Structure 1
């Protein structure tokens, strides 16, 4: 995975594909850090806490150069830290005060989630390649078009200029898109075979509702979110199965 692409363009779908929410379960609507939603500026929201220097808040000196290995593939500190900083910055802009006790707990949660996202992605990538899943040129071209739309770019020339400024090649971009396509195909083919019980769905919903501190009248009914919950649980269960059959070493 290309570090500059994941952080320079700020497009996390390339880094994580559909596993942005995979791995460890997150049940509180307030606590779940998202990757794909557009984050408003602190000024626009009138938030109490200004944007913080997240680099000074994050303690990265003790993090080893390799934070984890998945089936022999290293997850490097540089990519882990840059992604964590990006997510912490988004949380800061949403008003999270990392100097508070609650903010410190949030940051620890975020750190664990980012690491788990990388591990989940590598597990799925390995499994997809083991099944011989591939991405066609047409699918990669379509992903490139989506990437330009997400970045507000109108042509490949504009994208190339942006990539040149970041020191990223078009081949690196296409490789990351191909990985995302392959992972998506794998999930579509395999998650349907992962069973989720009604008890699991109800428990997930109940815990999420219990952690919802805003107006309870705005909480969606179980039927409104059933498909999303089922998909999340299928994802979690399938990734746990992959972990059981993989060599995962964590060093932080």
Structure 2
């Protein structure tokens, strides 16, 4: 898998984290994952119009927006995350108002911080060198695509590296904490459902690996949401905005 796809995974993960603990978002998240994947072509596709956030929506970079077990998250992380979610909601034609976006953003930041903290407690670490190495590889394999993505989401390199670090921590956390299995029967049942909806889907052996990965991702997301909810129950969380 090419490294620039990490950015798409970071965006997708944002929706998963924002959905944790909220209303049932599984169907919507799955649809967004599919649309995101379809949009991630090698040439980058059409360049969407940039989404702006107003002064009223922004928070001062140094202002604390939430405290998670004593660790403060400030506006310099909130603003890019808010814009990221607003952009993705706009692209997927989701009608979300400012209050909903603020809640989604805070939920995402809280949930990610809980994962980071639990990962650290379990000895999972991602160094600056790890992040820089990953970033350099992404840039080498798709500099133009990376620049387009940074421009679209109005991120500088440092902000992207912060998001990349979160994603790398979460990836290691998922691999270490969850042993997800997908049976052949589950794959076959899923294939039958797909076949009923689309007769031209192809033979099972041609799509088996993709189905298996989809089911694994769904199970992983479900387990991640359950874990985050448990962490949140035991956490000291104080929202400041």
Normalising by the smaller structure, the TM-score range is 0.5 to 0.7
Do the aligned partners of 1:52 and 1:92 also contact (CA within 8 Å) in 2? no
Do the aligned partners of 1:39 and 1:90 also contact (CA within 8 Å) in 2? no
Aligned partner of residue 143 in structure 1, secondary structure: helix
Q: Which residue of 2 aligns with 1:60?
A: 57
Alpha-carbon displacement from aligned partner over 1:162-190 (angstroms, at most 9, x marks no partner): 9xxx8867xx9777655543332222111
Q: Choose the corresponding residue for 1:21, options 4, 10, 16.
A: 16
Q: Which runs of 5+ in 1 are unaligned?
A: 1-9, 97-101, 194-204, 206-215
Aligned partner of residue 238 in structure 2, secondary structure: strand
Alpha-carbon shift at residue 70 of structure 1 (Å)? 0.8
Alpha-carbon shift at residue 145 of structure 1 (Å)? 4.2
Q: Which residue of 2 aligns with 1:128?
A: 119
Q: Which residue of 2 aligns with 1:74?
A: 72
Residues paired across the two proteins, number? 197
The change in CA–CA distance for 1:151 and 1:88 in structure 2 (over 3 A counts) is: farther
Q: Which residue of 2 aligns with 1:189?
A: 176
CA distance in 2 between partners of 1:136 and 1:66 (Å)? 24
Q: Which residue of 2 aligns with 1:212?
A: none
1:83-232 equivalences under 5 Å are: 83-94=81-92, 96=93, 103-105=95-97, 108-135=99-126, 140=131, 143-149=134-140, 151-152=142-143, 177=164, 180-192=167-179, 217=197, 224=211, 225-232=214-221
Alpha-carbon shift at residue 115 of structure 1 (Å)? 1.9
Alpha-carbon displacement from aligned partner over 1:175-214 (angstroms, at most 9, x marks no partner): 7655543332222111339xxxxxxxxxxx9xxxxxxxxx
Aligned partner of residue 75 in structure 1, secondary structure: strand
Alpha-carbon shift at residue 140 of structure 1 (Å)? 4.6
What RMSD in Å do the two structures reach over aligned CA positions?
5.0
Do the aligned partners of 2:67 and 2:73 also contact (CA within 8 Å) in 1? yes
Q: Which runs of 5+ in 2 are unaligned?
A: 1-5, 181-189, 191-195, 202-207
Q: Which residue of 1 aligns with 2:228?
A: 239
Aligned partner of residue 95 in structure 2, secondary structure: helix
